[in-house]
């Protein structure tokens, strides 16, 4: 199987390449523009592995992309702007890169009959769980309504462009029979995730290891559900080869919820840090008008039914692996 991974130098993309290379039948080509990805992430296989090749460039450039899609049997479309902080600071590129990238990928995949996995995000649900589930007990299902706010809040632009990615993929499937699978990642975490783009776990772990204040935004009662990247990539490779998944949308996440305050406390305790929690308003963290969702947790019945999805890594294991990674990176013992 010839497999193209866009966003191969990113956090999830680099782990995915490694998993795909474990199968001796696979030849993997990575593509990345290095805006948020890095060669360091690919250290284990870049210029080392005989079945891995790499091209530098952007999915927004159709003619650059063409020969690589033509070459492939499968494409994992993971190339996208990433992280709430990065997205808030790059409003134009967030929109254009998402839309142009998916337009090119799907058009070429359709032309050359290549199967595509489109990586979307739980951001597409917006605030739906807060507004639909007053009991605070259930998770989001793929059929749930999506509730997003004003166009003046750029966070919702990201959510909407990702939703448009989904619409376009499903439209190609319906109109032309293009084989595609859409997945929605829920807070995927693990080694190699950078603290640079504002994601909460690498941020807290770095702050704790450096003895800096842990910056909790809002009152810290908001919850998130974290999935280890190894579970995420295992799931998407299985979905990619399952006929039942074609033309479908899947949540890829872990239903276990933790509040951000509790997460901060657990990280302080695990790192034996002297750091203290400092509360910042969303306004201070992201600027005026920023909105967060109180809960965002998946219902995973659909993916369990299709591939027998199993979560292998609990939050403690996840945190231990991230702490070990960041310690090595920061050279802390």
Q: Are 169 and 182 in contact (CB under 8 A)?
A: yes
160 interacts with ligand UDP by CB under 6 A: no
203 lies in the site for ligand UDP, by CB under 6 A: yes
Q: Using an 8 Å Cβ cutoff, are 125 and 140 in contact?
A: yes
Of residues 117, 23, 8, the one with CA closest to residue 55:
8
Q: Which is nearer to ligand UDP, 120 or 187 (CB)?
A: 187
Active-site annotation holder among 46, 76, 125, 158: 158
Question: Is residue 156 within the footprint of ligand UDP (CB under 6 A)?
Answer: no
CA 46 to mean position of chain CA atoms: 22
198 touches ligand UDP (CB under 6 A): yes
Nearest CA-CA partner of 122 in 105, 135, 139:
139
Site for ligand UDP in 47-66 (CB under 6 A): none
- The nearest distance, CB 224 to ligand UDP, in angstroms, is 5
Q: Which residues pair with 7 in a beta bridge?
A: none
Q: How many CA atoms lie within 13 A of 106 on its CB side?
A: 28
Residue 199 binds to ligand UDP (criterion: CB under 6 A): yes
Which part of the chain contacts ligand UDP (CB under 6 A), choosing from 32-40, 98-106, 173-181, 211-219? 211-219
Q: What is the dihedral of CA 196, 200, 204, 205, to 10 degrees?
A: -70
- Phi-psi sector, 192: left (phi>0), alpha (psi -120 to 50), beta: left
CA angle, residues 293, 295, 298, in degrees to nearest 5: 120
CB of 259 to ligand UDP, least distance (A): 9
Which position has the token pair 């810290």?
220
Q: What is the x/- site pattern for ligand UDP, positions 4-33, by CB under 6 A?
A: ------------------------------
CB count within 10 Å of CB 138 equals 14
Active site residue 172: no
Which of 200, 232, 233, 235 is in the footprint of ligand UDP by CB under 6 A? Answer: 200
Shortest distance, CB of residue 25 to ligand UDP, whole angstroms? Answer: 35
- Spell out, one character per residue from 65 to 104, where the chain touches ligand UDP: x when CB under 6 A holds, - when not: -------------------x--------------------
Of the candidate spans 46-54, 68-76, 133-141, 214-222, the one that interacts with ligand UDP by CB under 6 A turns out to be 214-222
> Closest approach of Cβ 60 to ligand UDP, in Å?
23
Handedness of CA 239, 197, 155, 291 (dihedral sign): positive
Residue 240, classed as helix, strand or coil, is: helix
Task: Name the minimum Å distance from CB 90 to ligand UDP.
Answer: 15
Instruction: For residues 324 and 321, give the distance between their C-alpha atoms in angstroms, rounded to a whole number.
Output: 5
The answer to whether residue 222 forms part of the interface with ligand UDP (CB under 6 A) is yes
- Could you tell me which stretch among 53-61, 102-110, 210-218, 233-241 binds ligand UDP (CB under 6 A)? 210-218
Distance in angstroms (rounded) separating the CA atoms of residues 172 and 107: 8
Instruction: Find the helix or strand (DSSP H, E) in which 31 lies.
Output: strand 27-32
Least CB distance to ligand UDP at residue 222 (A): 4
Residues 259-318 that bind ligand UDP (CB under 6 A): 260, 292
Note the residues at the interface with ligand UDP (CB under 6 A). Answer: 84, 187, 198-200, 203, 215-217, 222, 224, 260, 292
Active site residues: 158
């Amino acid at each position: 199987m010839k497999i193209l991974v866009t966003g191969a130098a990113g956090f999830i993309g680099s782990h995915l390449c490694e998993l795909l290379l474990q199968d001796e039948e696979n030849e993997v080509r990575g593509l990345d523009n290095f805006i948020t990805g890095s060669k360091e992430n690919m250290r284990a296989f870049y210029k080392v592995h005989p079945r891995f090749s790499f091209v530098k460039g952007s999915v927004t450039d159709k003619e650059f992309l063409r020969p690589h899609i033509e070459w492939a049997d499968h494409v994992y479309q993971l190339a996208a702007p990433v992280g709430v902080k990065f997205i808030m600071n790059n409003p134009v590129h967030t929109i254009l890169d998402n839309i142009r990238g998916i337009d090119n990928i799907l058009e070429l995949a359709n032309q050359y009959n290549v199967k595509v996995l489109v990586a979307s995000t739980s951001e597409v649900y917006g605030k739906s769980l807060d507004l639909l589930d007053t009991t605070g007990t259930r998770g989001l299902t793929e059929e749930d309504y999506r509730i997003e706010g004003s166009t003046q809040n750029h966070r919702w632009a990201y959510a909407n462009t990702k939703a448009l990615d989904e619409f376009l993929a499903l439209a190609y499937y319906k109109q032309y029979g293009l084989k595609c699978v859409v997945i929605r990642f829920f807070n995927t975490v693990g080694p190699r995730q950078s603290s640079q783009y504002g994601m909460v776990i690498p941020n807290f772990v770095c702050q704790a290891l450096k003895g800096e204040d842990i910056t909790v935004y809002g009152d810290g009662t908001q919850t998130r559900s974290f999935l280890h990247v190894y579970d995420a990539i295992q799931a998407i490779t299985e979905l990619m080869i399952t006929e039942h998944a074609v033309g479908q949308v899947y949540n890829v996440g872990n239903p276990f919820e933790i509040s951000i305050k509790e997460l901060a406390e657990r990280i302080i305790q695990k790192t034996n840090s002297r750091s203290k929690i400092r509360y910042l308003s969303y306004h201070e963290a992201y600027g005026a008008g920023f909105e967060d969702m109180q809960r965002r947790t998946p219902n995973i019945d659909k993916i369990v039914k299709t591939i027998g999805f199993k979560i292998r890594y609990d939050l403690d294991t996840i945190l231990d692996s991230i702490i070990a990674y960041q310690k090595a990176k920061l050279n802390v013992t």
